[in-house]
Structure 1
Amino acid sequence: MKSSIATVCLSGSLPEKVAAIADAGFDGLELFENDLTAFDGTAIQAGRMIAERGLELVTLQPFRDFEGLEGRQRKQALDRAERKFDLMQELGTDLLMVCSSVHPDALPGLSRAAEDFHELGERARRRGLRVAFEALAWGRHIHDYRDSWEVVRRADHPAVGLVLDTFHIFSRQTDLNTIGSIPSDRIFLVQTADAPRLSMDHLSWSRHYRCFPGQGELQMADFMRLLEETRYDGPLSHEIFNDVFRMGHSDQTARDGQRSYRLLRAMAADSAVPVPQDIDGIAFIEVAAETEDLPALRNTLSALGLACVGRHHTLEAERWAINDLNIVLNPDSSFAGRSPGRTATAVTAFGLRVDNAYEAFKRADLLGFDIVEPEDVGATHGMSALRNVDGSLAYIIDNSQLSRTWDREFTRDVQPVPEGPVVGLDHIALSLSYHDFLSVLLQYRAIFNLDTTPSFDVTDPRGLIQSQVLCNASGTFRLALNASASPDTLSNRFVRRYGGSGVHHLALRSTDLATSAARLAEADVPLLPIPGNYYRDLAARFDLPPTQLDALADHHLFYDEDADGTYQQLYTLSGRRAFFFEIVQRDGYQGLGAPNAFVRVTAQQRMDATAPDPQATTGDTA
């Protein structure tokens, strides 16, 4: 199949879109006619520009409200088509995409529509052109691909073919099985789009919430399996209407589109792309630390029971550990994972533990994701990494690699790894721009075998934050993604303050949160203060004894329950850092404490309003 993308997917002018599509490595593009209408040049110049970038102009689209009309209106529709045929010949494409009519005067009847398309096909054939028919999910009479296929079949014309569009098929929950029986030469174009599962009208859903395959919740693998049965070998083209894409960078969108195309091709039974890898958990966190922030960081880690168990043999980096948790403090200003322009102490790398790192990297490479080799950045540890969208690194390692790294790299002042109530990393939370949100979702779902929770909204005093969690089946890996369209939510304040997307907080898991909280208090590590009204509400919601409620309030702990157990949380303050710590105690509970999120972000907003600018202070509060 040939990779293609519709210009409507991208932001910018037509020349900017064409450049981004070509640079991303696509074979062709669909020209959305609005982009041509707004182009400051002729159709011939537009076609030449596309061809000079090595791209095939797959189709001009869309041609609307054609079938089912009578008399003068039918003649006008055919006359309109002739004008589009003129345009196509100037552009240098032979295919016009026709979507099913929503015209209020359109009459029903598959035979009537077939007669219309036979005549349209005959007019196209005389000019060496073709037409392809798509069933819109909100079409007036034809909104099922099986009906559009029947129209094409009855039209029985070599210049008339079918468009299969995944969004229109899935949004109507149409049975897929007919696809496998459609002759491949009758399918002229396949358009792909994923989407979250939403309850809303088809048109609004389509116009605002489509996304690339791998970013949504539709069963794209089932569609690709049946498409493979047809032996279709034409253009596989993304057609995405999405408000985020329209606001984002066209080059980033195009690169994600190319990766999504490769992901679709990897779903074929004979694909040479390795299967997605399971993530066992997080092997380590690396923090690029400003020197003046190190004393406070060390104090917090010590209070949590971590100890410095080794120092790097050439750098000033330190390995802090307890049980299975490893945190590397790296003050080296040239650290490869440090985002350009970001000077705050920040999480700039983490290690993903898998069974077979080689297979994971092979899959990532074949899907087109950025891989950083150690020699590229002058590192001696021998570990390769994915380059995350924010510039940070996600190392992919197996257990043997990790042991060698600790033994070979952190050879000074080696100490035993202590034990204590903090037993590991519970989850990582990212604050992202909306565009980066979708890019991260695609990257991790494409490479690794991960589930997603349904997207949910966190209420911030200044807007809504969309949140979604990527997790493995065992619950040992959780990556929480957060993005907001409101400029002053906690999430967007982070993105704006620290120069882009990144890790917002690290959640460490404790088996005894009361003890962990007491140790933090003893070390004078400030905790996020929680209003007393919260604990009055807890007393009303849960059957907790007064002594337990008092203990929760004394330690600034949140509490929640679900069908599987209980959950407790506390938060440190971030101070100068670009991240803060959350400490949790999870006793069977499966979520991330979402019912507490509004109180938490409100408290953080309140603290943030009174805090000095972290870029201007010299001390640290946590």
Structure 2
Amino acid sequence: MYSSIATVCLSGSLEEKVDAIAQAGFEGLELFENDLTAFTGTPREAGELIRARGLKLVTLQPFRDFEGLQGRARERAFDRAEHKFDLMEELGTDLLMACSTVHPDSLPGLSRAADDYHELGERAARRNLRVAYEALAWGRHIHDYRDSWEVVRRAAHPNVGLVLDTFHIFSRQTELGTIGRIPGDRIFLVQTADAPRLSMDHLSWSRHYRCFPGQGELQMDSFMAMLEETRYDGPLSHEIFNDVFRMGHSDQTARDGLRSYNLLRSMQGDSGIPAPQPIESVAFLEIAVEPADLAPLRALLSALGMACVGRHHTLNAERWAAGDVNLVLNTDASFTGRVPGRDATAITAIGLRVGNAYEAFKRADKLGYAIVEPEEVGASHRMSALRNVDGSLSYIIDDSQLSRTWDREFPVDVQPVPQGALVDIDHISVALSYHDYLSLMLQYRAIFQLAPTPSFDVTDPRGLIQSQVLQNDNGRFRLALNASASPDTASNRFVRQYGGSGIHHVALRTNAMRDTSAALQQAGTPVLPIPGNYYRDLAARFDLPAQTLQWMQAHHILFDQDSDGDFHQLYTQPGSKAFFFELVQREGYQGLGAPNAFVRVTAQQRLEAEIDGIAQATPNHDSGESQAWSNSDW
């Protein structure tokens, strides 16, 4: 098989799309006819443009509403086909992709459709052309690949073959077993698309929500296993209709598309690509700290029960730890994880602990992800990393590397790691543009063994935030991805204010929320204020003792419960940082407190508005009052 992508997947003009596809490393492309129609040159020039970039023109598509017509309508359908054949000869492609009809006057019947395609095959053969037939999920009579295969089989013409499209197959929940019994040489084209699982009409679902394999929730591995049975050896081509892709950068989309193709190939037994590694836990987070923020950040971590357990031997960096939580505070201006244009204190690197780092990097390389080697950036450690779509780094390490790193890199003022209420990093939440959301989703799911939860919407006062969680089998790694089409939601304000996508909060797990919240209160750490009405609602929803409710309200703690247990949440205020901390205590509970998300984002919006109001009312920022407010941000 070889890689291909349809021009409809990308934004821009035909020239821009062809350039992006070629630069990404694809071998072929499908030309969507709208792109040809809007092209200012001739069809021959369009074909020359494609070939000049080293690409094969796989097919011209789509040819619509052909079969099942009578009389003059049938004659007209064949006339249209001849015009398409003229275009194909000028373009320099031999394959026309035709989809099952939705024409209101078309008649049902597999034999009738087969007769039409046999005649079309005869006409195509006279020009050394071919036709590939696809079952649309919303086709008027044929919407099942098993029926489209029967049409091709009955047509019995060597120039007529089958199109298999994963979206149309999965959206109809059609069984896959028949695919393995179709001869590979009768399949002329395989089109791939993933999608979130949604309850809506097939056409709208297809036109707006398709995505690359690895970004959705369909069982692409099962499809690829069946396809391997056929011994198909033609183009494996993405066909994606997605509003985000149409608004995004064509080069980023094309790069993700090739990585997704590589992911599909990795699902086949002969790929030579290592299996995905499970992420066992978050080994550490590295924070690029502005010097003015260092003292208040130290104070906050101390209040949480963390301690500085080592200092870097050459850089201005400290290791703070408690339990299995490790944070590196890096104030060194040369820190390579710093994101250009982002001056705020921010989390700019994450350490991912896996069983075998070498195998994980080998897989990442095979899938097309660039690896940042320590010598390339002048780092003293020996850890390699991936450059994330937001510019941050993801170090991939195993236990042997981690212990050596702490011993070798932070040997100054070494102290024991405190063992108290703070246990580990429960989850990480990332705010992203929609395009980055899909890119990061693909990166983590392609390289690592992670399962996505169903996506859900968080209600923000300024719109909706789409959220989805990637997690490992034991729940020790959870990554929440958040994106929004509304410009003023909490996630988009983060993206806008801090120069792009990135980690906007980290949840630390405690086994004693009462002790942790009391320590924060005693240290004077500002936490996110939760309105009293929330606790009245808790009293109505849950059978909680009055004293427990009073304690929660006094410490601004949120609560949820599922069939597995209880969940407590507490949020700090971000201050001048580009992120904030969440403290959680879970007692069997499996989620991330989604029912409380709207309360949290509303409270943050309200707090931000209050701070903006104070800032506007205090023009003299050198005054003592202004300095006191700044010091209390943490």
Q: TM-score by structure 2 length?
A: 0.97
Aligned to 2:198: 198
For 1:453, give the aligned amino acid.
T
Aligned to 1:308: 308
Per-residue CA deviations over 1:229-286 (Å, capped at 9, x if unaligned) read 1110000000000111111111111011000000100111222111111111000010
- How many residues end up aligned between the 2 structures? 621
- How far, CA to CA, are the matches of 2:513 and 2:376 in structure 1? 42
Per-residue CA deviations over 1:471-529 (Å, capped at 9, x if unaligned) read 11111100011111111110111011111110010100111112111111222210001
Aligned to 1:595: 595
Aligned to 2:473: 473
How far is the alpha carbon of 1:610 from its aligned partner?
2.2
Aligned to 2:94: 94
Aligned to 1:431: 431
> Is residue 548 of structure 1 aligned with residue 548 of structure 2?
yes
Per-residue CA deviations over 1:165-224 (Å, capped at 9, x if unaligned) read 011111111111111111111110000001111111110110011111111111111111
- How far, CA to CA, are the matches of 1:210 and 1:380 in structure 2? 43
Q: Match of 2:96, SS? A: strand
For 1:584, give the aligned amino acid.
V
Aligned to 2:60: 60
Unaligned runs of 5+ in 2: none
How far is the alpha carbon of 1:93 from its aligned partner?
0.5
> Is residue 271 of structure 1 aligned with residue 271 of structure 2?
yes
Aligned to 2:505: 505
- How far, CA to CA, are the matches of 1:234 and 1:204 in structure 2? 29
How far is the alpha carbon of 1:430 from its aligned partner?
0.3
How far is the alpha carbon of 1:376 from its aligned partner?
1.0
How far is the alpha carbon of 1:334 from its aligned partner?
2.5
Aligned to 2:353: 353
- How far, CA to CA, are the matches of 2:106 and 2:78 in structure 1? 14
How far is the alpha carbon of 1:296 from its aligned partner?
1.0
> Is residue 403 of structure 1 aligned with residue 403 of structure 2?
yes
For 1:386, give the aligned amino acid.
L
For 2:440, give the aligned amino acid.
V
Aligned to 2:520: 520
For 1:448, give the aligned amino acid.
F
Aligned to 1:133: 133
- How far, CA to CA, are the matches of 1:567 and 1:491 in structure 2? 23
The 5-angstrom pairing of residues 180-329 of structure 1 reads 180-329=180-329
For 1:484, give the aligned amino acid.
S
How far is the alpha carbon of 1:58 from its aligned partner?
0.2
- How far, CA to CA, are the matches of 2:384 and 2:12 in structure 1? 35
Q: Match of 1:481, SS? A: strand
Aligned to 2:578: 578
- How far, CA to CA, are the matches of 1:86 and 1:475 in structure 2? 58
- How far, CA to CA, are the matches of 1:319 and 1:255 in structure 2? 36
For 1:465, give the aligned amino acid.
I
- How far, CA to CA, are the matches of 1:77 and 1:265 in structure 2? 38
- How far, CA to CA, are the matches of 2:270 and 2:319 in structure 1? 44
How far is the alpha carbon of 1:40 from its aligned partner?
1.4
How far is the alpha carbon of 1:333 from its aligned partner?
2.3
Aligned to 2:489: 489
Q: Match of 2:449, SS? A: coil
Aligned to 1:110: 110
- How far, CA to CA, are the matches of 1:101 and 1:189 in structure 2? 18
How far is the alpha carbon of 1:611 from its aligned partner?
2.1
- How far, CA to CA, are the matches of 1:336 and 1:146 in structure 2? 54
- How far, CA to CA, are the matches of 1:315 and 1:333 in structure 2? 10
Aligned to 1:337: 337
The 5-angstrom pairing of residues 136-175 of structure 1 reads 136-175=136-175
How far is the alpha carbon of 1:559 from its aligned partner?
1.0
For 1:413, give the aligned amino acid.
D
Per-residue CA deviations over 1:400-427 (Å, capped at 9, x if unaligned) read 1000000000111111111211111110
For 2:145, give the aligned amino acid.
Y
- How far, CA to CA, are the matches of 1:292 and 1:553 in structure 2? 32
Q: Match of 1:263, SS? A: helix
- How far, CA to CA, are the matches of 2:111 and 2:51 in structure 1? 39
How far is the alpha carbon of 1:456 from its aligned partner?
0.7
Aligned to 1:77: 77
Per-residue CA deviations over 1:364-409 (Å, capped at 9, x if unaligned) read 1101112111111110110011111101111110111000000000
- How far, CA to CA, are the matches of 1:545 and 1:160 in structure 2? 72
Aligned to 2:568: 568
Q: Match of 1:222, SS? A: helix
- How far, CA to CA, are the matches of 2:175 and 2:510 in structure 1? 48
- How far, CA to CA, are the matches of 1:293 and 1:204 in structure 2? 48
Q: Match of 1:47, SS? A: helix
How far is the alpha carbon of 1:572 from its aligned partner?
0.5
Aligned to 1:462: 462
For 1:269, give the aligned amino acid.
G
- How far, CA to CA, are the matches of 2:153 and 2:564 in structure 1? 54
How far is the alpha carbon of 1:339 from its aligned partner?
1.6
Per-residue CA deviations over 1:288-322 (Å, capped at 9, x if unaligned) read 01111111111100100111111111100010011
- How far, CA to CA, are the matches of 2:107 and 2:545 in structure 1? 69
> Is residue 390 of structure 1 aligned with residue 396 of structure 2?
no
> Is residue 39 of structure 1 aligned with residue 39 of structure 2?
yes
How far is the alpha carbon of 1:324 from its aligned partner?
1.0
- How far, CA to CA, are the matches of 1:426 and 1:175 in structure 2? 38
Q: Match of 1:482, SS? A: strand
Q: Match of 1:611, SS? A: helix
Per-residue CA deviations over 1:572-602 (Å, capped at 9, x if unaligned) read 1111110000001111111111111111110
Percent of residue pairs identical: 75
- How far, CA to CA, are the matches of 1:39 and 1:555 in structure 2? 63
- How far, CA to CA, are the matches of 1:109 and 1:323 in structure 2? 68
For 1:83, give the aligned amino acid.
H
Q: Match of 1:395, SS? A: strand
Per-residue CA deviations over 1:77-132 (Å, capped at 9, x if unaligned) read 11111111111111111100000000000011111111111111111111111110
